[in-house]
Amino acid sequence: MTVGFHSPLPPARTGVADYAASLLRGLQSLGDVRPNARAADVHLYHIGNNQLHRAIYERAIARPGVVVLHDAVLQHLFLGWFDETAYVSEFVYNYGEWNRDRARQLWRDRAASGTDDRYFRFPMLKRIADRSLAIIVHNPGAAALVRNHRPEANVHIIPHLFDPPQDIDPASVLEFRRAAGIPFDSYLLGVFGFLRESKRVFQVLDVSAQLRAANPKIALLVAGEFVSSDLERACLPLLSDPGVYRVPYMSEQDFWTAAMAIDACINLRVPAAGETSGIAIRMMGIGKPVLLTDAVENGNFPPGSFLPVPLGVAERAVLFDYICILATDRVLSGEIGRLASTHIRLEHSVAEVSERYWNLLCKNAGS
């Protein structure tokens, strides 16, 4: 059996590329898997919510195969791709002629699509669900979104994979802190990845400032690139606070060094797009306690393996309390990380995930 493998791959600056590179190695250990193959017994398409996936989406529609939805909301893919006529037409295909006026309004308001909940309520998954032989998602929330568009869709939940780092020299971790000016006795929180409004970056910075007033040993590492210049400008005053340390986009090796250097990770998503965070999986896999939004997307992690932060008005207060507890109770912090690591290494290993992919691809070969 030959598998066509369609995905962004490194050096593309995206978590999907890193994920795909690890999965590709795992699948190639099981059989003949060819990146960007035009002819194959079955094709595997990785679909995300940005323009890196435009050509892959077109291939998935033209030559149906197995689709991995890394984001279960494709609104922003279409907003960045289509003109108004095409966008409205696609919206009507998904939600009916009676929603044509709603589609036009969403197009006019698209500048607010990064934070406006309306865009996340309409994932626009019907066409990809109609055309695909099978759809892979990483969590129950994403599966429900697909079935809302096509109840009979052949949906499979396969956990997001964890590919552990090569051995990281402890001296390099200490050097990372020293070079960044981070005190060795601080409790270091980390926010990683592309920094957008849905990651609650401003709110995290605001809470961290309050935390330092109560405990000066709490520090925050903000690692990644802002995707919105408006958000970056809004955050600048808080980013300049003592105790906040800024690092731009990092190489894979530097990412793992920084990951080892932090004590806990904050990885919030509001609104969510049906995604399972690769950063959260990596942090949990190496035993770091992770604070995640209490949402259905995180429902397949066992209780006690992460700290659930509620949506709404209680978000900041709970975030504040959790971090205070973690910073003062290193035993509890370590136990949460241990539970997380045990789960991730059992259920999310490259070998386990690759085998589940391979079995599904075999079932759909030649369809």
Report the distance separating Cα 221 and Cα 224, nearest Å.
10
Report the distance separating Cα 16 and Cα 48, nearest Å.
8
pLDDT at res. 351? 95
Residues 141 and 182 in one domain: no
CB 159 within 8 A of CB 300: yes
Tell me if 236 is assigned to some domain: yes
Residues 183 and 242 in one domain: yes
Tell me if 42 is assigned to some domain: yes
Residues 12 and 154 in one domain: yes
Residues 222 and 262 in one domain: yes
Residues 6+ apart with CB under 8 A from 314: none
Amino acid at 261: A
Tell me if 54 is assigned to some domain: yes
**pLDDT classification of 167: cutoffs 50, 70, 90:** confident
Tell me if 62 is assigned to some domain: yes
Residues 267 and 146 in one domain: no
Q: Which of 75-79, 97-101, 233-237, 315-319 has the lowest mean pLDDT?
A: 233-237
Residues 6+ apart with CB under 8 A from 203: 268, 315, 316, 319
Residues 201 and 60 in one domain: no
Residues 184 and 239 in one domain: yes
Tell me if 98 is assigned to some domain: no
Tell me if 264 is assigned to some domain: yes
Tell me if 89 is assigned to some domain: no
Tell me if 80 is assigned to some domain: no
Report the distance separating Cα 366 and Cα 192, nearest Å.
41
Q: What is the mean pLDDT of the chain?
A: 93
Report the distance separating Cα 91 and Cα 149, nearest Å.
12
Residues 135 and 237 in one domain: no
Q: Over the stretch 182-217, which tens digit does the pLDDT of each residue have?
A: 998 999 999 998 888 889 999 999 999 999 998 999
Number of structural domains in the chain: 2
Q: Is the pLDDT of residue 15 over 90?
A: no
Sign of CA dihedral 227, 230, 231, 235: positive
Residues 243 and 353 in one domain: no
CATH of the domain at 339: 3.40.50.2000
Report the pLDDT averaged over residues 288-307: 93
* 44, β-bridge pairs: 5, 66
Cis upstream peptide for 8 (omega within 30°)? no
* DSSP H helical ranges for the chain: 15-28, 54-62, 75-79, 84-95, 100-108, 117-121, 126-131, 140-149, 170-180, 201-214, 229-239, 252-261, 278-285, 315-328, 330-347, 350-364
Q: What is this structure's pTM?
A: 0.93
Residues 25 and 156 in one domain: yes
Orientation angle between helical segments 315-328 and 330-347, nearest 10 degrees? 100
Residues 264 and 130 in one domain: no
Q: Over the stretch 28-62, which tens digit does the pLDDT of each residue have?
A: 999 999 999 999 999 999 999 888 899 999 999 99
Report the pLDDT averaged over residues 107-119: 90
Segments forming the whole domain that contains residue 200: 170-347
Residues 335 and 358 in one domain: no
Judged by phi (left if over 0) then psi (alpha if -120 to 50, else beta), residue 52 lies in: alpha
